[in-house]
Amino acid sequence: MNAPTDEKKNQPVLVTGIAGFIGFHFAKELLIGGYPIIGIDNLSDYYDVSLKTNRLKQLGFSQDQVDTIAAPNPETRSIQLKTPQKLVFYRADLKEKDAVKKIFEAEKPVYVVHLAAQAGVRYSIQDPYIYIDSNIIGFMNILESCRHHPVKHLVFSSSSSVYGANENMPFSVHHNVDHHISLYASTKKSNELMAHTYAHLYQIPTTGLRFFTVYGPWGRPDMAYFNFTEKIIKHIPIEVYNYGKMKRDFTYVDDIAVGLHRVMLKIPGNNPDWDGKNPDPASSRAPYRIFNIGNHQPVDLLYFIQLIEKNLGIKARKKMLPLQKGDVKETYADIEELRHYIGFKPVTTIEEGIKHFIDWYLDYYGIKK
């Protein structure tokens, strides 16, 4: 690990959702870069909590520390690691305003990268209220804390789901995104609107990133590729929606982490050329920008399944089903804006990425081919 520079020692990064899939990988990127990190996570039981605590162990926490972190306790708990740079973890729920406020007061972050959210399009149909608590109220508390404890840059996660019923391909940040088909998407678009308002009112430099189907090692068990892998190994039929006629712009998590790091360091300013008579959704007079971050390479779902089969050496049993509520048939990211802005260029092919995931999965669960 590289020793942190004096400049970076004085630029702590607050990462929400640090025990989550993307948050964990981004934290690894920051550790390599030498930044002090303030991590927040509530260790939600939406999926296997042990996967989250094992991610924390990969960041350097001991088993005893992880056990302390995960033990039931309604109060905010923090543990600091003795590493070349400061790494402190807070177990806290972002919907608790006072808890968030205290963390900002104590840690004084320079950058805030907000990745915590209740994810999942389909789950938002089953339990909509949790999306309001996590994605709306939680984000509101982050915005208010950035207002009262000014930061150099707030970066937050949005989603390709905001494109909803739009069928213009590839999806562009210049497109209208007002026709959502899931509550999850609506909460993410709400985040974009809330962030713009705070950027305008309080001049908080803010960048939103619309993630496109992020995948890779240490992923979320509710994601299709993870679920497919588990069922194929167990010879359980996999559910293939829209009879397989779907495409996704799968984006490897390491490419996302590098992109996040570069975006964090690129502070948006006010755009004097923004025209209120012809408003561009991707920019503003405020210090606010929105970008797609994807692979720009849509993959057929059936080919995606074939790659999992090939790497496992097992043929999948498929249960072909109609399109589910809230799902879109295709996603395809126009990433030209981000390429020009930070030189973003994904380098991991779907073939490489799936192999990396399957290798991790078999090792993590102790499965031999």
Which residues face 328 on adjacent strands?
none
Identify whether 227 is part of a domain.
no
User: Residue 202 has what pLDDT?
Assistant: 97
Average pLDDT, the chain: 92
Which residues face 208 on adjacent strands?
156, 290
Q: Is the model's pTM score more than 0.85?
A: yes
> Of 40, 15, 50, which Cα lies nearest the Cα of 29?
15
The mean pLDDT of 167-186, rounded to a whole number, is: 90
Token pair 């209740």 is found at: 118
Question: Taking 80 as the threshold, does the pLDDT of residue 87 lie above it?
Answer: yes
User: Residue 110 has what pLDDT?
Assistant: 97
Cα 269-272-278 angle, rounded to 5 deg: 115
**Which range among 36-50, 75-89, 136-150 has the greatest average pLDDT?**
136-150
**CATH number of the domain enclosing 30:** 3.40.50.720
Which phi-psi region, left, alpha or beta, contains residue 232 (left: φ > 0; alpha: ψ -120 to 50)? alpha
Identify whether 152 is part of a domain.
yes
Identify whether 235 is part of a domain.
no
User: Residue 9 has what pLDDT?
Assistant: 66
Identify whether 228 is part of a domain.
no
Measure the CA–CA gap between 160 and 185, rounded to whole angstroms.
8
CA distances from 221 to 50, 137, 340 (A): 12, 25, 34
Identify whether 164 is part of a domain.
yes
Question: Taking 90 as the threshold, does the pLDDT of residue 319 lie above it?
Answer: yes
What are 224-246's pLDDT values in tens digits? Answer: 999 999 999 999 999 999 988 99
Domain of residue 23: give its range.
6-212+252-294+333-346
Identify whether 328 is part of a domain.
no
User: Residue 82 has what pLDDT?
Assistant: 63
The mean pLDDT of 151-156, rounded to a whole number, is: 98
Identify whether 309 is part of a domain.
no
The mean pLDDT of 54-67, rounded to a whole number, is: 91
Number of domains in the chain: 1
Measure the CA–CA gap between 149 and 286, rounded to whole angstroms.
19
**Catalytic member of 90, 184, 252, 288:** 184
Which residues face 79 on adjacent strands?
89
**Annotation marks residue 288 as catalytic:** no
Q: Which residue has the higher pLDDT, 122 or 112?
A: 112
User: Residue 69 has what pLDDT?
Assistant: 84
The mean pLDDT of 100-116, rounded to a whole number, is: 96
Question: Taking 60 as the threshold, does the pLDDT of residue 72 lie above it?
Answer: yes
Q: How confident is the model at residue 5 (pLDDT cuts 50, 70, 90)?
A: low
Residue 236 half-sphere exposure, CB side, CA atoms within 13 Å?
8
Identify whether 368 is part of a domain.
no
What are 245-257's pLDDT values in tens digits? Answer: 999 999 999 999 9
What are 341-357's pLDDT values in tens digits? Answer: 999 999 999 999 999 99
Measure the CA–CA gap between 78 and 269, rounded to whole angstroms.
34
Q: How confident is the model at residue 299 (pLDDT cuts 50, 70, 90)?
A: very high
Q: How confident is the model at residue 75 (pLDDT cuts 50, 70, 90)?
A: low
